[in-house]
Every structure is written in structure tokens, then in C-alpha cells.
Structure 1
């Protein structure tokens, strides 16, 4: 997992940052642990709201998939992450800040890559009717057309995880 500061788990309390002393840090989603995936097959990054958030997230996804050797679906995964992160930022009624972060995670297996975005909004994603010449409303349609499967699930903390699966072998 990439982060500005390392996260230290205290078995007797909340997650803390050694840089900030005892200030609680939000938990990192434990997808890898819950899915019994080794650290080599999982990575996640906390999304920081900056003017370059989407470009930085696409670079993170592309760089990770390139290191893993999944070149055939690299651009699809980056675009899917871009759309899911954009949706999480734009449509959530809960402000994204230090206490309510958005996370992007990548999981690999020999046959697929899973892209997941976690936010603290309970509002489920929804496909819109084709918006005509409008400038928005196509994100999940893009995800649906690029991914081999996609969906969402509620998190234990009241938010949601929106995910997309990209087959890496055999290619479609």
C-alpha cells in the first residue's frame, strides 16, 4: 500500500500515524486480508483531493498493472478507476476528508484484475439512461462496457465498495 506516512496498527486501539502522534487514522480497507490475498497480489491507495487526483490515480493503476505484467488491460483498468473515483468524489453526500477518505484498491490473480473504490457514502451507484449530449452521466456505462463484470457492496462502516473485474486470461 502506498501512503504519505506509514500506518501502524496498534492491537489495543485505533490506527495511528507515527508522524501525527496519537491522532487516529482511518482504517485501510482490509480487502486483501478478507480475500486471503498475499501482499504481492494487492495494493491500495488513499485518495487525496488535489487538482491532479484523477491523473495521479490513473498513474497509480497503470504503474501497478505494469509492475504486475498486466499490460493488455492497463488502459481499461486506469479508465475504470478514473470513472469510479470520479463518481465517489462527485456524487457522495459525505465530504471526503481525512476522516472520510476514498480508497482505490487493486487485486490480481492469474486470470483477472479487480479494481475497487471504497467511499463512505451509503448511496448505491446507478446506471443512468444515456444522457444524450450532456457532459456527465456516462461513467458507469463506460465501466460496464470495459469490465467483464462489475458491481457494488455495502461496507461494514456504512459506505460502499464499487468494483470491476477485468479478465487477463483468456482475453475476451
Structure 2
């Protein structure tokens, strides 16, 4: 069994953080001949990194005044799965939507103000991946992990959607 892994450390304040994360994911998946996963995995990493950039506040003991906020992106390929993890310095739980807030048929006619204010990006992540979870890190911060199934009854991204 061969494990393959790529990791990249970025900083939330850099203007090309999202671009660099997508580039690393695209490059790894192309090298690993997982071309079909590139669009979904790039969108997922964009959403997760974007959440760090816009919402993560480092834990008090990790915060250094004036220092950039660290974002770690890790891809690990196993024979049956691809894991994508994004770590940050904020231990608070990600805001995930609870269930279906609106039927797509009903939401179409609603004014924008009626749609949920947060959690939409993680809803996209849940829909594109086969599983999603988060875990606190021992020294502070957290990691959000997504799993893409590479084999089985459903093509990656078309399984249970993590629900």
C-alpha cells in the first residue's frame, strides 16, 4: 500500500493564499492521476481556506501581535480515500448549517435577506465530499478534514455528501 502526501503552510493575510492552496491541490491530484476530483477538491479547499481567512481568530496563547495567521493544507491519498485537511490557530468549532434550511424550490423566490448568513460554504463542502469533520489540535487550533471516496458504489463527491 502506497501513501502519498502533500502539505503546504500558508498565511491568511497573503493575497494569494486561496490561489496557492488550489494550485497545490490541483498539482497533487494531477500527479496522482485523480483528474476528475480537481474541480470539487479545489472548490472545497477554497471554501475551507476562505473560512480561515475571513473567520479564524487565533487562540489567545497562539496569537502574536502583528504576526500573520497560519493556515496548513494537507492532502493524503490512500488506495480508497483522499483526505484534505485545513488547519488554523482558532479552536472554536466551525459554523455548520443544521439540516436543510430551505427547499431549493422555496428559496428561489425568497429575498436574499431571508437566506442563512453563515455556514453556506461548509454546506457546499458537505455536498462535494463523502465525509467532513473537525478536531481540535492538542496545542490549540483545529483541523477541518474532508474525505473523498476513490472507489465504491458512488464516484467521489456523489456519495452521501457527508450527511
Question: TM-score scaled by structure 2?
Answer: 0.72
Q: Is 1:74 the equivalent of 2:38? A: yes
Map of 1:14-93 to 2, 5 A cutoff? 41-48=4-11, 49-93=13-57
Number of aligned positions between the proteins: 135
Distance 1:122 1:162, change over 3 A: same
d(CA) in 1 for partners of 2:87 and 2:145? 9
Q: Root-mean-square deviation (CA), in Å?
A: 2.6
- How far residue 50 of structure 1 moved from its aligned partner, in angstroms, is 2.0
Q: Could you list the runs of 4 or more consecutive aligned residues of structure 1 that deviate by over 6 angstroms after TM superposition?
A: none
Instruction: Give the 5 Å matches for 1:22-171.
Output: 41-48=4-11, 49-94=13-58, 100-128=69-97, 133=112, 137=118, 138-170=120-152, 171=155
How far off is 1:166 after superposition? 0.6
> Would you say the 8 A contact 2:79–2:150 is kept in 1?
yes
Higher relative contact order (CA 8 A, sep 6+): 2
Q: Which runs of 5+ in 2 are unaligned?
A: 159-163
TM-score by length of 1: 0.69
Distance 1:55 1:111 in 2: 27
Structure 1: gaps spanning 5 or more residues: 1-36
CA distance in 2, matches of 1:136, 1:65: 32
